[in-house]
Amino acid sequence: MASGTGEVSKKLKLYSYWRSSCSCRVRIALKLKGLDYEYIAINLLKGDQKSPEFLKLNPLGYVPVLVDGDFVVADSFAILLYLEEKYPQHPLLPKDLQKRALNYQAANLISANIQPLRNLLVLGQTHIRKGFAALEKLLENYAGKYATGNEVFLVRFFPRAFINISVYSEYPILSRINEAYKELRAFQDAMPGNQPDTPPEARA
Ligand SMILES: N[C@@H](CCC(=O)N[C@@H](CS)C(=O)NCC(=O)O)C(=O)O
């Protein structure tokens, strides 16, 4: 992990797993902001996240982790806000305070109330449905082409590929805006099928 020369690399490093939706969020932001980064694959199936080296970066043992010089930040939401403040190009947050709050609320709903439950079976599905229903309702008065209007901001939910259950079609707004996001190059580049560690059989 260390360069061994004592020099701190200037290039951003992202510890990521191709299928991880949390990593994908950060990959999208890096692409939208046009930031070049080194992709460091953490194979969650092989348990790379539990290695002592990785646990030094994130004691929780989760991807994504961003390393900027000698600064380390974990958790996709924290990383997105860090990138937003450091690299203002292509803002991930609207200027309007209320729309910013809406983006915080929807992004947190996804990362706290939907994503952690995704891998559980029946119980998870009930809560995910609840989360999607709340998100659909929340965006009702704000959605334009994208989640909170006609510009691309922080809020982005899972593409179909990330969901184990076929709930998407129950939510017309979520389905419609998902199609719009899918047209964007930054989103396509960040998808699981296009990562350096994507196995050949899963390549887009
Ligand atoms: N709140 C965290 C959650 C991170 C998270 O759940 N990461 C998953 C992949 S999406 C992970 O690394 N899981 C490894 C494991 O469960 O061992 C974030 O948004 O970054």
Tens digits of residue pLDDT in 28-37: 999 999 999 9
Task: Quote the distance between the C-alpha of residue 8 and its chain's center.
Answer: 26
Identify the pLDDT of residue 168.
67
Q: What is the DSSP letter of 1?
A: -
Tens digits of residue pLDDT in 87-143: 999 999 999 999 999 999 988 888 888 877 766 555 667 777 888 888 899 999 999
Q: At which residue do the structure tokens 């994504």 appear?
A: 64
pLDDT greater than 50 at residue 2: no
What mean pLDDT is reported for the chain?
A: 86
Among residues 64, 25, 71, the alpha carbon closest in space to that of 41 is found at 64
Q: Which residues contact 30 (CB under 8 A, 6 or more apart)?
A: 12, 14, 37, 83, 190
The alpha carbon of 48 and the centre of ligand 1 are apart by a number of angstroms equal to: 13
Measuring from atom 19 of ligand 1, which residue has the nearest CA? 76
pLDDT greater than 90 at residue 182: no
* ipTM higher than threshold 0.95: yes
The alpha carbon of 49 and the centre of ligand 1 are apart by a number of angstroms equal to: 10
Tokens of 106: 């929807």
Identify the pLDDT of residue 165.
47
Measuring from atom 14 of ligand 1, which residue has the nearest CA? 62
Q: Could you count the other beta carbons within 10 Å of the beta carbon of residue 100? A: 15
